[in-house]
Structure 1
Amino acid sequence: MNVKIRALVERDIPFLWDMLYESVFVPEGEKPFPRTILNEPSLSKYVEDWGKQGGDIGLIAENEQQAIGAIWLRLFDETQKGCGDTETPEIGIAILKEFRSKGIGHRH
């Protein structure tokens, strides 16, 4: 499979929301959360207003036809803290289900 990695750009924001949803942990055997879970401030802050905060960085993995995965990081400040501190960026990573377990994350 030919996979290209490129910088995340503004046109990728809808796909980044998809990847945020894919990154939500669902225990094995459990039903996935409804997509409306992305409206929760504790999750939406990882994508909302993407690119308007200093320190928003991301990459998109794509094959010849489509974007298939993303990795992104965001540094939060005191007004909207993440799970860590204000000096350590938080990372999100996800890939579409049909492309998992194909070694894409191991490529250089």
Structure 2
Amino acid sequence: MPFRTRPAVQADGAFLADMVVEAANWRQGGLRPRHEILTHPDHSRYIAGWMRSGDAGVVALDEQDEPVGAAWYRVLPRTDPGLGYLATGVPELIIGVRPIWRAHGVGRTLLQRLCEQARADGHGRISLSVERGNFAQILYRTEGFAVTQSGFGRDTMVKLLR
């Protein structure tokens, strides 16, 4: 399945919301309602006000230029940390891929491009949060992420970018 990537833009906000829903509903058959996910602070902080200063992202497109996945980061404040918050100034990423496109290299490509962007933006580390049992943990480990904090049912992982 061929695909290409491009930088995320402000107009991608609605698609990023779709990808937050995909990320939250990663389990087979796990369908939490969209409105419940998008209104919960654990998820809404990743899309509210997209694209603000310091935000960056990458979108994957199929052959018809339809978006199939996205990865993006935000630098969240200590006063409103995300699930994978590590420290002030460390961007936290989120990634979502439409189910039919999973296991086709889309997630890996998005992750690599986003880490390249974070490095180019001068960041030395990037973090994320992943639920235990999510197959994406394998992807993150093979791309150089390591667990730094374990929480209830989820881990915070970090990658050194320099």
TM-score (norm 2): 0.59
Worse overlay, 38-47 or 74-83? 74-83
Alpha-carbon distance between aligned partners in 1 of 2:90 and 2:108, rounded to the nearest angstrom:
24
Q: Provide the aligned C-alpha RMSD in A.
A: 1.9
State the match for 1:59 in structure 2. 58
How far has the Cα of 1:106 moved from its partner? Answer: 4.3
Matched-pair contact (CA < 8 Å) for 2:7–2:59:
yes
How far has the Cα of 1:87 moved from its partner? Answer: 2.4
Read off the aligned partner of 1:87 and give its amino acid letter: G
Alpha-carbon distance between aligned partners in 2 of 1:9 and 1:96, rounded to the nearest angstrom:
19
How many matched pairs? 106
Find runs of 4+ consecutive structure 1 residues off by over 6 angstroms. none
State the match for 1:12 in structure 2. 12
For the pair 1:101 / 2:108, whether they are aligned, the reply is no
Task: Give the unaligned 5+ runs of structure 2.
Answer: 113-162
Matched-pair contact (CA < 8 Å) for 2:97–2:107:
no
TM-score (norm 1): 0.85
State the match for 1:69 in structure 2. 69
The one of the two structures with greater contact order (alpha-carbon pairs below 8 A, sep at least 6) is 1
Task: Give the unaligned 5+ runs of structure 1.
Answer: none
Alpha-carbon distance between aligned partners in 2 of 1:64 and 1:18, rounded to the nearest angstrom:
19
Provide closer, same or farther for how the CA distance between residues 2 and 43 of structure 1 changes in structure 2, counting only shifts above 3 A. same
SS at match of 1:79: coil
More strand by share: 2
